[in-house]
Amino acid sequence: MFNKLQISNFEIENRSVRAATATGNCDKLTGIPDQKFYDIYESLSRGHVGLVIFEHAFVSLRGKADHNQLGIHDDSMTQYHAKVNQIMRAVNDKIRTCCQLAHAGAACSVENKINLNTASVQELDEVVQQYKNAAIRAKSAGYDCIQIHASNPFLLGQSISPQLNSRSDSYNAQDFKLFRQVLDSVSGILPIGVKIQCDGLDAENTTVLFKLLKEFKFHFVEITGSNQIAPVRTKVDLNGDQYYNQKVIMKLKQMHLDQPIIVTGGFQTVEGANIALNDGADMVGFSRKFLRNDKFLIDGDKLECKKCNQCFKNLFDYKESCCVSRQAKII
């Protein structure tokens, strides 16, 4: 876990990743972060995590998923992203940061949402341009890389899903057209990662994942299990670890890919993460665990995440996603 890793043009101090985790600490109309947001990321920086993937940031107001979601939809937002990067680097100049770009498509909370199945070509062209603009802002704000959020049911997740994409034109599920256009538009701005959700080897998204990895070359790929559905337990629990995507990692290893893989989903401990690293993953992502204890990599870690998912449910009640078991304030 504590070995370095080179991704594209930057080095990461160790193999731990704070997987994207919406904090619910942004203004509900503008997406501008509040003070708590900065405090959370500053605190995370003190915990020796290698790569912090920021919570999903909407690339346009029509792509806004949650009430209190972070925005990167406008040039005026760059200053807030720059500020949080500066705060984090002042604490730990080796920390690496990733801006997650998202368009929630039909899953948006706004009225004029875009459903891939009925969207006009012009609307989709606008989305492609919005991703490009957001990536340029991410670069000026000082992030090391971007991550394209392509999990279901967001717009790009929908576009690559045979179940959710019912278009029969060139934007059909098999040809990955929108996905390809978005990748082309952000290419060369910052190193690019992609996040795909796949729960178990036979799931639809896993098939899509293998096809995507054959057709595209990313700087890194994150595969995750859902925090909402029953996990596919493939490894005996170890101090509460449930390694949701072990079968996928084993299969990916056989594909001999040369792009780094982050596996996320169910991990609680360094020991559990080491199992995934030994299986061939390059990095291990933790989301709920960091909400429970953002110093678990360095403090002897006695705090267990109960996986109650109240953190996630809070977001839907327009509250912060903080852990209900976490007694302490941000330290």
Ligand X SMILES: Cc1cc2nc3c(=O)[nH]c(=O)nc-3n(C[C@H](O)[C@H](O)[C@H](O)COP(=O)(O)O)c2cc1C
Residues near ligand X (CB under 6 A): 19-22, 55-56, 100, 149, 151, 195, 224-225, 227, 264-267, 286-289, 311-312, 315, 321
Measured from the CB atom, the residue of 19 and 49 that comes closer to ligand X is: 19
Q: What are phi and psi of 43, to 5 degrees?
A: -65, -40
Q: Which helix (H) or strand (E) holds 132?
A: helix 121-141
Residue 270's identity, in one-letter code, is V
- The least CB distance from residue 89 to ligand X, in Å, is 22
- The least CB distance from residue 169 to ligand X, in Å, is 28
* Biggest CA-to-CA distance, the chain: 55
- The least CB distance from residue 14 to ligand X, in Å, is 17
Measured from the CB atom, the residue of 17 and 213 that comes closer to ligand X is: 17
Residue 67's identity, in one-letter code, is H
Measured from the CB atom, the residue of 191 and 231 that comes closer to ligand X is: 231
- The least CB distance from residue 266 to ligand X, in Å, is 5
> Does residue 173 contact residue 165 with C-beta atoms inside 8 Å?
yes
> Does residue 154 contact residue 65 with C-beta atoms inside 8 Å?
yes
Q: Is 115 helix (H, G, I), strand (E, B) or coil?
A: coil
- The least CB distance from residue 304 to ligand X, in Å, is 13
Measured from the CB atom, the residue of 216 and 312 that comes closer to ligand X is: 312
10 Å CB burial of residue 59 (0-12, 13-18, 19+) is buried
- How far does CA 310 lie from the centroid of its chain? 19
Measured from the CB atom, the residue of 50 and 266 that comes closer to ligand X is: 266
